[in-house]
Amino acid sequence: MAPAPRTLPDLATQGGLFDRLRATARPSWDRYVRHAFVAGMGDGTLPQACFRHYLIQDYLFLIHFARAYALAAFKADNLADMRAAARSMAAILDLEMGLHVKYCAGWGLDEAAMQAAAEAQGTLAYTRFVLERGLAGDLLDLHVALAPCIVGYAEIAATLLADPATRLDGNPYADWIAMYADPEYRAVAVAQVELLDRLSATRGGDARFADLSRTFDAASRLEAGFWDMGLGLLP
Out of 50, 104, 155, 223, the active site residue is 223
Q: Which amino acid is at 45?
A: T
Q: DSSP code of 93? A: I
Which of 233, 188, 231 has the alpha carbon at shortest distance from 31? Answer: 231
Out of 149, 155, 184, 194, the active site residue is 149
Q: Which amino acid is at 11?
A: L
Which of 67, 200, 206, 225 has the alpha carbon at shortest distance from 141? Answer: 200
Answer yes or no: are the C-beta atoms of 197 and 20 closer than 8 Å. Answer: no
Query: Helix count (H) and strand count (E) of the chain?
Result: 12, 0
Answer yes or no: are the C-beta atoms of 48 and 172 closer than 8 Å. Answer: yes
Rounded Cα gap, residues 95 and 188, in angstroms: 14
Please name the residues in contact with 210: beta carbons below 8 A apart, sequence gap of 6 or more: none
- Identify whether 223 is a catalytic site residue: yes
Which of 95, 31, 43 has the alpha carbon at shortest distance from 69? Answer: 95
Q: DSSP code of 206? A: T
What residues act catalytically? 149, 223
